[in-house]
Amino acid sequence: MNLITDWNSRLLEEIENRQDELLELCSALIRFPSENPPGDSRDISRFIIDYLKRAGIDTTVHETTETMWNLVSTLERADADKEERPANKKLIYCGHTDVVPAGDLERWDFDPFCGEVRDGYMLGRGASDMKGGLAGLIFATALLAELKVPLQGDLSLLIVPDEETGGHLGVPWVLDRGLAEGTAAVIAEPSGPLNPTIGQKGSCWFEFTVEGTPGHGSLSPVVGTSAIVKAAKGIEALQKLWDIKPDIPEEVQEIIRISKDYAVNREGAAPGSEQVFDHVTVNIGTIEGGTKVNVVADRCTVQVDSRVPFGVDYLAVMERANSLLLEAGIETTVKPFGFQGNANWTPPHEPIVADLVGAISEVSGEEAYGVLQWASSDARHFRKHGIPVLQYGPAELSTIHGFNEKAPVDQIIRCAKVYALTALKYLGAAQPAVHGQPDAAATP
């Protein structure tokens, strides 16, 4: 008997037959307005803990603050297998409960926390980023427990409350303290249906403050020096960060080529978006300056979100930013905040990548392959700890962080199937005892 194939069929059949339960779980998660800021995860965390408890799974709560809870729930490998060999593989399934704020409710065509299904889509804030994927992880883990699948390794569900505002109280907080262990990880961040993301660009968030001389607004520019006008010159100068030439390592040149082709051919992709894979991007995120409309601004602070390709160090971006501002005649110093780090990836030959890509192809019947992501994510923290990781989740990519966020229902169901099969492929399942002999291990 091919036990792995047999469990594959059973898991796929169960998810197909119980897809309404999966979608209701997703709807329930969306109905919790877990916006960050403020970042209160208590209510949604209690719901998840209760849901897992009904499947026989206990959860450990690690509070980073009174309102932010990290949850760790582990399915340990089969008891018989424990007696035979030490645990070798430990898989972490990771998702975050926080979502970006819904913003102006008048600009939504539906209640952003409705969690309704219409015309083949799950509606609401977080449907794509990332409660659709989170529901799939929770559902797949609960199903593996309910069916008593004899996994040969540990499967841990790590659910964090903080990702959208930098994530410092989520994944890195847990990993740095050794509260979750893994030899591989999968994050349910949104991706293409056939293209998990196996690497991310680096990040270099920074800000600079410009000082001016106040004066009466009616006399500007004769009297006073506007900090806002000076900051505008700095903003223009910083656009030259795009011109930094990366020294792309040979080992990532092929995946960059593949990712560029994917960006060009992806439905709905912005024209020219493929260029960001080998350029430093510059987004002027916020500008705060002045005290009153009729007063010459005495101070202005600008925050910049820069994403860094392979072959460029984020510290070099900071240095270049300082130089550009000085060349523009602005005496200031850039200060880092938020996301900081270099581009990183998990090579396609890693077992977890091969297993998840194989699961996608098995479920979809189509060719799947990994690509790079031009944004950043919690994946960098796993790689910092030496844990191979990739991302795969359901999404309508064009709606992420925007109004009218939604996710295709068929992708939510597909991803849950992929999560279940990936756990089975990566961890394996124990063979049943034969003629009274101890269980032997079966590997996929």
Mean pLDDT, rounded, for 93-98: 98
pLDDT band at residue 339, thresholds of 50, 70 and 90? confident
Predicted confidence (pLDDT) at residue 439 exceeds the cutoff of 70: no
Predicted confidence (pLDDT) at residue 271 exceeds the cutoff of 90: no
Residues 243 and 330 in one domain: yes
Residues 304 and 183 in one domain: no
Mean pLDDT, rounded, for 348-354: 97
Q: What integer pLDDT is reported at residue 355 of this predicted model?
A: 98
Residues 128 and 243 in one domain: no
What residues form DSSP beta bridges with 73? Answer: 157
Tokens of 418: 């992929």
- C-alpha separations of 360 from 136, 254, 376, 411 in Å: 14, 22, 23, 11
Q: What backbone phi and psi angles, to 5 degrees, belong to 114?
A: -80, -35
Q: What Rg do the C-alpha atoms of the chain give, in angstroms? A: 24
Q: Which one is catalytic: 35, 129, 154, 163?
A: 163
Q: What is the residue-wise DSSP string for 156-193? A: EEEEES-STT--TTSHHHHHHTT-S--SEEEE----BT
Residues 8 and 157 in one domain: yes
Q: Is the dihedral of CA 408, 410, 413, 419 positive or negative?
A: negative
Predicted confidence (pLDDT) at residue 274 exceeds the cutoff of 70: yes
Predicted confidence (pLDDT) at residue 268 exceeds the cutoff of 80: no
Q: What integer pLDDT is reported at residue 5 of this predicted model?
A: 72
Tokens of 299: 């101070």
> Across 354-412, where does the E strand assignment appear?
371-373, 389-391, 406-408
Q: What backbone phi and psi angles, to 5 degrees, belong to 13?
A: -65, -45
Q: Give the 3-state secondary structure of residue 349.
A: coil
User: Under 8 Å CB-to-CB from 159, ≥6 apart: which residues?
Assistant: 45, 48, 70, 71, 72, 73, 94, 95, 96, 97, 134, 138
Residues 295 and 432 in one domain: no
Q: Which one is catalytic: 14, 40, 98, 162?
A: 98
Predicted confidence (pLDDT) at residue 438 exceeds the cutoff of 60: no
* DSSP 8-state class, residue 84: H
Is 98 known to be catalytic?
yes
Domain boundary among the residues 317, 341, 365 is at: 341
H-type helices in 167-313, by residue range? 171-176, 227-238, 250-265
Q: From the CB of residue 111, how many other CB atoms can be counted at a distance below 10 Å? A: 15
Total domain count, the chain = 2
Residues 183 and 64 in one domain: yes
Mean pLDDT, rounded, for 259-281: 89
Mean pLDDT, rounded, for 146-158: 97
Residues 331 and 432 in one domain: no
Residues 187 and 209 in one domain: no
Q: From the CB of residue 302, how many other CB atoms can be counted at a distance below 10 Å? A: 24
Q: What is the pTM of this model?
A: 0.89
For 323, the domain range is 203-263+271-341
Domain boundary among the residues 341, 357, 380 is at: 341
User: Greater confidence, 115 or 444?
Assistant: 115
Q: Give the 3-state secondary structure of residue 309.
A: coil
Q: Give the 3-state secondary structure of residue 345.
A: strand
Q: What integer pLDDT is reported at residue 437 of this predicted model?
A: 42
Is 81 known to be catalytic?
no
Q: What integer pLDDT is reported at residue 266 of this predicted model?
A: 77
CATH assignment of the domain containing 310 = 3.30.70.360
Predicted confidence (pLDDT) at residue 434 exceeds the cutoff of 90: no
Tokens of 106: 């008048």
Minimal CA–CA distance to 129: which of 217, 30, 55, 213? 30
Residues 322 and 363 in one domain: no
Minimal CA–CA distance to 284: which of 228, 328, 235? 235
CATH assignment of the domain containing 132 = 3.40.630.10
**Mean pLDDT, all residues of the chain:** 93
Domain boundary among the residues 341, 373, 395 is at: 341
- Prior bond to 38 cis, omega within 30? yes
Q: What integer pLDDT is reported at residue 316 of this predicted model?
A: 98
Minimal CA–CA distance to 419: which of 395, 442, 399, 391? 391
Q: How far apart are CA 315 and CA 312, in angstroms?
A: 9
Q: What integer pLDDT is reported at residue 267 of this predicted model?
A: 61
pLDDT band at residue 3, thresholds of 50, 70 and 90? low
Q: What integer pLDDT is reported at residue 431 of this predicted model?
A: 65
pLDDT tens-digit map of 50-82: 999 999 999 999 999 999 999 999 999 876 455
Residues 409 and 434 in one domain: yes
- Prior bond to 408 cis, omega within 30? no
What DSSP element (H or E) covers 66? none
Residues 70 and 153 in one domain: yes
Identify whether the C-beta of residue 295 lies closer than 8 Å to the C-beta of residue 214: yes
Mean pLDDT, rounded, for 208-223: 96
Residues 61 and 178 in one domain: yes
